[in-house]
Structures are given as structure tokens and as C-alpha cells.
Amino acid sequence: MGLLNALGDKFKKKSLFADGVEYMKHDKYGKALKCFDKALKIDSNDVRSWVNRGLTLEKLNRHEEGLESFDKALKLDPKYIEAWYNKGLILGNHKMYKEALKHHDKALEIDPEYSKAWFGKGVVLTNLGKHEEGLESFDKALKLDPKDITVWFIKAITLKKIGKYHEALNCFDKALELDPNLEAAKKAKEELLSSMQNELP
């Protein structure tokens, strides 16, 4: 009977986790949080549920609680790369750039080929005004994942910001080649072309 109960709990936890992820995809964060909380009642050592709970709480503007969830995940598994990366992203979103940088560096220490952390690090560096270093990080991310549209787009924005218009244009084109319907890239490219026209003698 004990084994059956354990198997039932395991199945229920997996089902709750999957439901939570599905709710997150549809921006139903309150319902997602309930699913992750229920999953953690079944198994409080489930690292993935702690990480997704952290992301959900951030979306609900419960910033401190979200960070605590990531800390719980990292206490359970200090090498869980998604926790380092996502906590780094959230710290960056709240302008805690030095802390964010440490988290992305930790993720890269665990796996130097984790392209998302190179991207996250690049975003933090550009926010710190270290644009060239940021661009180097974006290049590392793109070497690992050349089809990451977001990286091409943010790299283009960064190049535009520092006046490297032709290189920025190439990056916008690359993003649009991968997704021709990316409205943000279309608009940014049009604005850049307009700026370049205005600067002609």
C-alpha cells in the first residue's frame, strides 16, 4: 500500500507541475502558484517546483518571496543551473546588476556552454555600461545557439546604442530572417534606417 501511495504522489506531483507550467504559459500566475505549492506539499525537495514557484511569484510582483524560492532550490541543489540563471535574470530586472552578474557567472562555472547565461550576462554588462563586454557575451551565446532571435535582437539594440549602425542593421536582419513577423525588430530596423538617412550629408 505504501508503494502505491508513493507512486500516486509521484504521479500527482508530476501532474501538478505540468499544470503549473501550462498556467504560466497562459499568464495565469495565481493558478500556477497554487499548483507549485501543492506539488511542494507532496515533495518539498522538488527543485524544479521551487524554481517555477520563484518565477511565478516574480510575475505576481512578490519579488522577495520569489528570490527565497530560488534560494530554497539552490540549497537543495547548488548545481541546478536554471536556478542560478533565473535568479540572475530577476536580480537584473530589479537593477541589482552586480548580484545578477555573480549568478550568471556561477551558471557559466557549472556549464560554460549554457548559452542563456551568456545572454543574461551580456544584458547585465550592457546595463552597467560595459557595452563591448556585453557584445562579447552575446557573441558567445550566438556561437552556442545561432538561432536565438532574442540575442540577435538585443545585440542589434546594443550596437545601435553605441553608434555601430551597419552592424546593428545586420543583426536586425538576422533576427528577421529567423522570424519575419517580429514586429519589434521591424520597427527598430525602420527607426535605424531613418536615423541613418538623417545623418547623411
pLDDT the model gives residue 159: 97
Residue-wise pLDDT for 36-86, tens only, equals 999 999 999 999 999 999 999 999 999 999 999 999 999 999 999 999 999
pLDDT tier for residue 156 given thresholds of 50, 70 and 90: very high
Whether the per-residue pLDDT at 11 is higher than 90: the answer is no
| SS3 assignment, position 61 | coil
197 pLDDT tier (thresholds 50, 70, 90)? confident
CATH fold label, 147-201: 1.25.40
Query: Residue 49 half-sphere exposure, CB side, CA atoms within 13 Å?
Result: 24
Q: Which residues contact 188 (CB under 8 A, 6 or more apart)?
A: 153, 156, 157, 160, 172
Q: What is the mean pLDDT of residues 160-165?
A: 95
Comparing CA positions, the residue from 58, 104, 65 lying closest to residue 81 is 104
pLDDT for 201 equals 55
* Pick from 4-18, 29-43, 179-193: least confident: 4-18
pLDDT of residue 186 exceeding 60, the answer is yes
| pLDDT of 35 higher than 70 | yes
Average of per-residue pLDDT across 81-110: 96
pLDDT at 51: 97
pTM for the full model?
Answer: 0.87
**Cell 557575451, residue?**
137
Q: What is the per-residue pLDDT for 13?
A: 87
Q: Which residue has the higher pLDDT, 1 or 104?
A: 104
Query: Could you tell me what percent of the chain has a pLDDT over 90?
Result: 89
In this structure, are residues 67 and 54 in contact, taking their beta carbons and an 8 Å threshold?
A: yes
Q: How far apart, in whole angstroms, are the C-alpha atoms of residue 196 and residue 201?
A: 10
Closest CA to 113 of 154, 142, 135: 142
What span, in angstroms and rounded, lies between the C-alpha atoms of 128 and 38? 39
